Structure formats: structure tokens, C-alpha cells
Structure 1
Amino acid sequence: MITIRGKSDDRLQGVADVLVKYKEQHHNADIAVYRHNSVSVRIRIVDPDFDGINKADRHDIVWDFVKTLPEDQQSEISLLLLFTPSETEMSFANDEFDNPIPSQL
């Protein structure tokens, strides 16, 4: 299951649908998405499978799924956080994901 925070729309649901395919291969992943503003989607994946994988390689793994979206939907992804469970506590970006500063848009 993918957590969609706040109000959803077709484009955000499309992002979530693509990430379901990631979740099918990574059963222990915790995935959340939300629309920060009209042109910005934020994604966080907390996955123990990221342990031992550098950040660039994590992004490559996830973008293999995301790149199946139309380019205009891809361009709305403004934040992609990829953590192991232990990394979430040390990340200011994770705190911003949980407690976003309101958008001016």
C-alpha cells in the first residue's frame, strides 16, 4: 500500500500507481506521497533494502519505475527521499516531509 497524504488528484494517483510496482518488489518499503502545491509532488520511500546502497544507486533504482510516467508528471516530482529506516531520524529533509513549510503557490 502507498500512503497518499492530503488531497489526491489524477496526476498524484498516477505517481502512486507507479510506486505500487516498486512496492510489489520491495514488500517492506514504506512509501508516502503528497502534493505540496499545484506543480510539486513529494515522495518518500523508507526501505530496509536500501541498506548498503549509495544514494545515487537508490535513485537509479527508483527512477526505473518513475521514468514510466509521462514527462510532465515526472517533472512535478520536486522531492524524492530514499532512506533506510535508521536514516530517517537523522534527516532534516525527512522532517520537512513530515512537517512541510506551506507552499506560497
Structure 2
Amino acid sequence: MMPGGHLATSLALSAATYYVTGSPEAAAGSFAGGFLIDVDHYLDYIVFEKQWRRPDPVSFLRYYFTNRPRTLVLPLHSAELMTVLFAVILAHPWPLLVGYWVGAAMHLIFDVL
């Protein structure tokens, strides 16, 4: 899914989360998990694609939309992280973390579709 789609779905999920739970923490977490999770794309661009000479957002977006990155190192998109977070949630169901996990799960599902 393109960034605009992730933004729209994350805003909708965040609003729905707040409506259902009344928790601003859960709503913020769902937005972070649904949209801000993509910060690892930028870190991949700078560190692994070695584009530190062109760190501006326009160059970053142009690179990803016109080139094929050689490798993608996206730790926030990993099943391992989701599994660890789920285990932490079982022990400590903090609203921010639960919201993040739900938003990230939505994000990953839409990435696959």
C-alpha cells in the first residue's frame, strides 16, 4: 500500500479506536503502528542503501518510487517483533502498546494485500 493509503487507514483506525475505547493512548498507538511504522523505510534508505548524502524527504520518496532498493531491512515490519510485542502485551496490556500492535498488524496485512 502507498503511504497515502496507510495514512488514511491509520487515521480511520485511530478514530475508531478512540470511539470504542475512549483511550487517547490506544488511539495514538494505533496511528503509530499503522503509519509511523514506516520510519524504518527511511532508516533503510539512509543506512543500508547508503543515501546519506540525499537525506531529504523528496529524494527518499523519489528513490523508493523510481528505483528498486537492493535489500530491505525493515525491523518494524518483522514477524519476530510482532511476536515479542504480543508476548509483552499478554503480561502488560498497556493501551499504547496494544494500540500499536493492532495498528501494525493492520499495516502489515495491507502491505501483503
Structure 1 and Structure 2 fold alike (TM over 0.5): no
TM-score bracket for the superposition, by shorter chain length: under 0.3
Judging by fraction of residues, say which structure has more helix. 2
TM-score if structure 1 supplies the norm length?
0.26
Judging by fraction of residues, say which structure has more strand. 1
Say which structure, 1 or 2, has more relative contact order (CA 8 Å, 6+ apart).
2
